[in-house]
Amino acid sequence: METAMDGGFARRARQFLPKSRGDKVAFAFLVVIIHLIFYFEQFRVLPEIYHEPCLASYIHTAFMVFVYINTVGNLFMMMNVDTTTGSHVLPSILKPGWHFCASCEANAPPRSFHCWECGTCILKRIHHCTFTGNCAAWANQRYYIVFLLYMSIGAVYTNIMNFDYVWDVMGGLTVTSILTMFAPLVMWIAGQAKAHTFFVSIMSMVCLIGGAFSLVLFYYHSKLTLLNRTVFEFNKRISDYDLGWQQNLEQAFGTRWQLVWLFPLLPSPLLGNGLEFPVNSDVSEAVKDM
């Protein structure tokens, strides 16, 4: 029997939280790292650069809070939006371009695919993201791309901010500092690095590797968005839905596509219903000629 708690928040949380063990571990890692980096920059690095609070340090803090809110806010919204075909009444007759999903025992519209991690068909499924434990898709593409944008901005910012501080803590470019950077645990256990140096080297490596990963992902998904393609369509070189970059951005981010980067709760209604998508003139003319 379901309790009131189970019927409400807990059931909803079960829907959007990662389901597989691998996704749960990756998601927990992401959440811990985001908060650890925020703490590290705000309470370790910033006070080393500005010893006293001043206008510049307040501007840095305001910027970090802005990036943090947009990162976490878009991450939460990306996971919280229903991306499944289950949110629609699906036709019992197989329409042209649709396919039958044996797992869901239902007809699925064009561009939708069954996700084995999410356990259901996803509307305009772009790909399954292990770190968020959810699919990036028609309904949440806006939040996913803006989340990647702020992860990338945060990554570039933290690596620039860290440079002088990490250089000082590590004691410049020496054999010991290079070994501590690449094998901090070994150097700490061997007594060659202090606990503080160990922590700083771990944080700077996380910022470097995480930053490079975020930038690559953001570049790849920006390309997909500007071309209006899913990962499957990109790999198969399908360009039927490419309407030009401006319309493609409107398709992905909604009618207020220019403003979505400002705040995750800013409304930007999506075009269409996720079941049908406009195709470009090349495809519509080819259909006419048939």
Residues that bind Zn ion (CB under 5 A): 101, 103-104, 114-115, 117-118, 121, 128, 135
Structure tokens belonging to residue 288: 């006419």
Structure tokens belonging to residue 58: 């307040």
Tokens 């590290």 -> residue: 40
**Nearest residue (CB) to Zn ion, 38 versus 113:** 113
Structure tokens belonging to residue 100: 């039958």
Which of 60, 109, 48, 46 is CA-nearest to residue 83? 109
State in angstroms the smallest separation of the CB of 220 from Zn ion.
17
* Alpha carbon distance 208, 33 (integer Å): 12
State in angstroms the smallest separation of the CB of 111 from Zn ion.
13
The strand pairing partners of 113, in sequence order, are 122
Which of 140, 135, 136, 130 is CA-nearest to residue 20? 130
State in angstroms the smallest separation of the CB of 86 from Zn ion.
9
State in angstroms the smallest separation of the CB of 117 from Zn ion.
4
Give DSSP secondary structure letters for 100-160.
EETTTTEEE-TT-EEETTTTEEETT--EEETTTTEEE-TTTHHHHHHHHHHHHHHHHHHHH
Phi, psi of 55 (to 5 degrees): -60, -45
State in angstroms the smallest separation of the CB of 115 from Zn ion.
3
Amino acid in the structure at residue 140: N
**Nearest residue (CB) to Zn ion, 140 versus 204:** 140
For 162, other C-beta atoms within 10 Å of its C-beta total: 21
**Nearest residue (CB) to Zn ion, 121 versus 169:** 121
**Nearest residue (CB) to Zn ion, 232 versus 263:** 232
**Nearest residue (CB) to Zn ion, 65 versus 94:** 94
**Nearest residue (CB) to Zn ion, 115 versus 249:** 115
State in angstroms the smallest separation of the CB of 85 from Zn ion.
7
State in angstroms the smallest separation of the CB of 93 from Zn ion.
17
**Nearest residue (CB) to Zn ion, 87 versus 103:** 103
**Nearest residue (CB) to Zn ion, 76 versus 157:** 76
Q: What is the dihedral of CA 7, 13, 15, 268, to 10 degrees?
A: 110
The strand pairing partners of 122, in sequence order, are 84, 113
State in angstroms the smallest separation of the CB of 290 from Zn ion.
30
Which of 137, 158, 135 is CA-nearest to residue 34? 158
Structure tokens belonging to residue 282: 């090349």
Please enumerate in sequence order all residues whose Cβ is within 8 A of that of 41, keeping only pairs 6 or more positions apart, or say none. Answer: 64, 158, 161, 162
